[in-house]
Amino acid sequence: MNVAETPFEFVTVSYLTRIGNQSAGTLAELLTGLEHCSDASIFHHTFQTLGSHHFLTDGFSNDFAQWALSDTNRNDLAEQLAALDIRDYVSIAALRSDLCRVVGEYCAAYPNFASQSALERFYFCESVELTAPLGRNARTLDEFREGIEHLSHSGFYFHFISSRLRLQLRTNDFSHWLADGLGLKSLAESVNHIDIYTNTLDSARAKLLRLIDRERRKA
């Protein structure tokens, strides 16, 4: 059995939501907000909200899309915003740029809708992140499986979803370690292909464990 030189260290994460000073009552104001809000705010309304609403697997993608749908009744814009896949981004700047492009193009194409009042305002908030070590680590695939099985939702989210930004790579902590630590590149790739939009954190974890079990049977 492969033994990694550098162990995988399991941590968990907790977030505070800081209320910002910006809000939007129209799509045009949303665009202004997107252009000027902090990176922590873009993170909060996309990456973090996906984690805290992981159980919604039929159309909920990020807070901007949900607001466009439920408060401005712009289904087409909501679809476009929901289609932005955070796995495609390794920086908040790139994600912000695409959010602004989608909303900007919509406002330009439909200026009447851009200035129409929403049912409820959108409040820009920020995530304040705090991590805590769980005191568990893994050097082998068996230990790794055991650790994943016992992770909380927050811990799993931290390693599997928000890690993409930290790594600045189109991958996650688990795949990164499987490839670099254990040399299991094919397993790492399969893990990275698990769809985080159509799976809950629980079902994503179950798939990941099944992939690991398949690998263990090969050994």
Partner 1 sequence: MSETLALSRIPLDQYAELLGASEIEELRALAKPLRGRSIEMINSTAVGGGVAEILNRLVPLAEELEINIKWDVMMGGEDFFEVTKSFHNALHGAPYHASPKDFEIFLAYSERNRATLPLDAEFVVIHDPQPAGLIETRQPGANHWVWRCHIDLSHPNRTVWDFLEKFVSRYDCALFSSPEFSRQLPIPQYLFYPAIDPLSEKNCDLDPQFVSQVLGRYHIDPQRTILTQISRFDRLKDPVGVIRAYRIVKRYFDCQLVLAGGSASDDPEGAIVLKEVLREADSDPDIKVLELPAWAPLEVNALQRAATVVIQKSLREGFGLTVSEALWKKKPVVASAVGGIPVQIIHKHTGLLAHSVEGTAYQIRFLLSHPEIAAKLGEHGHQHVKENFLITQKLKRYLTLFLTLARGS
**Residues within the interface to partner 1 (CB under 8 A):** 12, 14-19, 21, 23, 52-56, 59-60, 66, 69-70, 119-121, 123, 125, 128, 130, 132-135, 150-155
Of 113, 90, 126, the closest CA to residue 31 belongs to 113
Give the shortest CB-134-to-partner 1 separation in angstroms: 5
For tokens 């490839």, name the residue: 179
For residue 160 the two structure tokens come to 């599997």
Give the shortest CB-24-to-partner 1 separation in angstroms: 12
For residue 151 the two structure tokens come to 């992770």
- Quickly list DSSP for 51-100: HHTTT--SS---HHHHHHHHTT--HHHHHHHHT--GGG-SSHHHHHHHHH
By beta-carbon proximity to partner 1, the closer residue of 155 and 181 is 155
CB atoms within 10 A of CB 37: 20
Give the shortest CB-76-to-partner 1 separation in angstroms: 16
By beta-carbon proximity to partner 1, the closer residue of 130 and 219 is 130
Sign of CA dihedral 17, 22, 27, 28: negative
By beta-carbon proximity to partner 1, the closer residue of 80 and 127 is 127
Residues whose CB falls within 8 Å of the CB of residue 126, separated by 6 or more in sequence, listed in order = 17, 18, 20, 38, 40, 41, 43, 44
Calpha distance 138→146 (Å, rounded): 9
Q: Residue 172 carries which side chain, given as an amino acid letter?
A: N
Give the shortest CB-156-to-partner 1 separation in angstroms: 9
137 strand-pairing partners: 9
By beta-carbon proximity to partner 1, the closer residue of 133 and 183 is 133
By beta-carbon proximity to partner 1, the closer residue of 129 and 180 is 129
Give the shortest CB-192-to-partner 1 separation in angstroms: 23
Give the shortest CB-177-to-partner 1 separation in angstroms: 19
By beta-carbon proximity to partner 1, the closer residue of 11 and 28 is 11
